[in-house]
Amino acid sequence: MSSLEIRDVRKSFGAAEVLKGIDIPVDSGDFLVLVGPSGCGKSTLLNMIAGLDTITSGEICIDEQVVNTVHPSQRDIAMVFQSYALYPNMNVEKNISFGLEMRKMAKAERQRRVAEVSQMLQIEPLLKRKPSQLSGGQRQRVAMGRALVREPKIFLFDEPLSNLDAKLRVDMRTEIKRLHQRLGSTIVYVTHDQIEAMTLATKIAIMKGGVLQQLGSPDEVYNEPANLFVAGFMGSPSMNQLPVTLAEEDGRVVAKVSHKAGDELALPLADNPVYRDCLGKQVILGIRPEAITDPGSAESDSSLLYEAKCHIEVVEPTGADVFAIMELGGKKVVGRMRANCGVKAGEVAPVTFNMQKAVVFDPETEERID
Amino acid sequence: MSAATTSNDHSRVWRVVIYTTLIVFAIFYLLPLFVMLVTSFKPLEEIRQGNMLALPMQWTIEPWLKAWGSACIGLSCEGINGYFWNSIKMVVPAVLISTILGALNGYVLTQWRFPGHKWVFGLMLFGCFIPFQIVLIPMSQVLGMLGLAGTTAGLVLVHVTYGVGFTTLFFRNYYEAFPSELVKAAMIDGASFFGIFWRILLPSSGPILVVSIIWQFTNVWNDFLFGASFAAGESAPMTVALNNLVNSSTGVKEYNVDMAAAMIAALPTLLVYIVAGRYFVRGLMAGSVKG
């Protein structure tokens, strides 16, 4: 268990700068997830933490010590790779104990640790097998065993679940979370899957184009996205983004949005003095699908519920919920409704907007206004 | 119905044509070997009767024993066995050293890339295409300076230098497909540069090791030019001795002894092919197709 600090880290390949000054503090016991689209620099950053890639400028500290020039084997980290990277010529037991052997640990102690870890991961029957004789999920477990057995300061995971099929991925996700809760270790985890990020992290760093977009708890990045990119990237279906005009009505700031089925809607906004500065301006209103719902399933404790009649264009049942798609302000808007609320495509239905959950973005800077 | 029969007949005719051609060619290529073998088991009088293709009427291993132990090469009449061991002493270190160096080169050129690695590899490849004859004079000067002229050690050096281009090519292309994540994982696990090589890479290199060994063994064993140029007299390799044996013009021309000596000279390469040959094609194909 250890802390990690990434201070103004930059990386250039020739003229191309792929990381543009990343600052992330990670406390002991944190589960940091680096998430972003491909090419955002998240894997490069992880490789730099591991010492597999050089740092152009900035500092990476483990336990207050700068490790920029420390060899990967001396950083006391363990890494789980996307391809698992199990040594094909060694059986499972040798794979797990290889790192200990390289560190000249006594054989008895090695065996004790391998036994402990293989019991924890339930891979004892596989110890004598070669990696080629294992299934994807089993390889994944062995790869984790190889990391766990070292008892390192920091665990690094590089998209460890993306080679598994959907069901196994969900199971392993739970398993990783359980391991983290049990061991309380510091983990840095790279993924492009925002659901993985939300479910696992205690801290999420969303990156795009080598720039850190937002760093915060899953709750923060979900409910208070720093900008339009984060709003669109986190959550599925993603946050609705409507062009609206701010106006004042009855002493309250409202977001006016045109509506195909009839009158303009005037969605009331939470009390925030900065909204008053934007009166009359065009802004972008961000509202999550679950905040647009049928009146019956609206959060009744919210003080800012607004009901309107909307024309439902398409209905997509998922079993648990129904996604109702309507058009507001010339944009498709998704609402999440109860499965048996009786909403039908082509009809006009009452829809409740929970405006407490709405956020406002500046259309030019794309930053959240608050 | 009749159409089907015709096409059936057609394919049968083709089959007969193909197999006949193949068998004819196989016989054509095996004929010299057959002549060598039967001649080597015939007494000299039988050979003089001129029936080259006939089986020996009286089988004898005398020519083989003579070729091995008492045939005259130049002035000494001790057979080719001394030269056979010369060749072994040359081929074993030359093959092992060039293979290990090639493997190390391949490892560095794929997993520890440095600026200009493509140039280094390109120049080594270029080395594969330099004709033997061009390097004879500079090589003899270098050997002279090193004090290795006319020795087996010098010959080993020549063959290692010449072979390392090929072995590097083999191993680089093989390791090119080797997942770099494995090397990274071993690095984090604390394995050293050579630790990764011995423990991770080399155990996964079976097929290409076989290719490299067969290739180098065949080339070094069969080499005549370097052997004739750089190792004279007592330290000459088998190929040079065979030439001297056949060309020794004292007394009667003993065809059966010549043939037996040639067979002995060819046996080791044959043995290597029989033992390791099935890996050869597999290794040559490895990496060319994914999976």
Residues of B with CB under 8 A from a CB of A: 179, 181-182, 184-191, 195, 199-200, 203-204
Q: Which of A51, A85, A103 sits opposite B185 (nearest CB)?
A: A85
Could you tell me which residue, A343 or B97, shows the higher pLDDT?
B97
Q: What is the pLDDT of residue B224?
A: 87
Q: What is the per-residue pLDDT for B26?
A: 95
b/e for A312-327, b at 16 or more Cβ within 10 A? beebeeeeebbbbbbb
Residues in chain A: 370
More confident residue, B148 or B93: B93
Question: Which residue among A52, A89, A102 sits closest to B184, beta carbon to beta carbon?
Answer: A52
- Cross-chain Cβ contact A83/B179 below 8 Å: yes
- pLDDT tens digits, B174-203: 898 888 889 999 999 888 899 999 998 898
Out of B182, B190, B204, the one facing A102 most closely (by C-beta) is: B190
A170 vs chain B: nearest CA distance in angstroms?
Answer: 24
What pLDDT, in 10s, does the model give residues A143-165? 989 998 988 889 999 998 888 88
Q: Is A72–B181 a contact, with Cβ atoms under 8 angstroms apart?
A: no
Which residue stretches of chain A have pLDDT < 70?
1, 261-262
Q: How confident is the model at residue B2 (pLDDT cuts 50, 70, 90)?
A: low
- Binary contact (A50, B181; C-beta < 8 A): no
Report pLDDT for B281. Answer: 66
Q: How far apart are CA B287 and CA B291, in angstroms?
A: 8
pLDDT beyond 90 at B239: no
Helix, strand, or coil (residue A65): strand
Q: Residue B249: what pLDDT?
A: 61
Residue B86 has pLDDT above 80, yes or no: yes
The CATH 2.40.50.140 domain(s) of chain A lie at 244-369
Q: What is the ipTM for the molecules in this complex?
A: 0.81
Please tell me the number of Cα atoms within 13 Å of A183 on its side-chain side. Answer: 22
Omega of the bond prior to A237 within 30 degrees of 0, cis? yes
SS3 content of chain A, % helix, strand, coil (to 5): 30, 35, 35
- R_g of chain A, CA atoms, integer Å: 25
Chain B within 8 Å of A88 (Cβ-Cβ)?
A: yes
Show residues of chain B in contact with A102, CB under 8 Å. Answer: 189-191, 195
**pLDDT for res B245:** 81
Cβ A21 vs Cβ A58: under 8 Å:
yes
Q: Classify domain A244-369 by CATH number.
A: 2.40.50.140
Q: What is the pLDDT of residue B45?
A: 81
Q: Which residue of A has its CA nearest to B192?
A: A102
- pLDDT over 50 (residue B290): no
**Is the CB of A73 inside 8 Å of chain B's CB atoms?**
yes
Residues of chain A with CATH 3.40.50.300: 4-233
Class assignment of domain A4-233? alpha beta
pLDDT for position B284: 59
- Six-digit token pair at A175? 């398993």
- Relative to beta strand A154-158, strand A186-191 is parallel
pLDDT at B289 over 50: no
Residue A254 amino acid letter: V
pLDDT in tens, B118-129: 999 999 888 888
A residues 148..187 contacting B (CB < 8 A): 150
Percent of chain B whose predicted confidence (pLDDT) is above 70? 92
* Torsion angles phi and psi, residue A237, rounded to 5: -60, 160
The 3-state secondary structure of A271-282 reads CCHHHHHCCCCE
Instruction: Decide if B200 and A85 are in contact by the 8 Å CB cutoff.
Output: no
pTM value is 0.80
Which of A48, A81, A80, A45 minimizes the C-alpha distance to A67?
A48
Query: Which chain B residues are closer than 8 Å to A88 by Cβ?
Result: 182, 204
Q: Which residues of B touch A50 (CB under 8 A)?
A: 184, 188
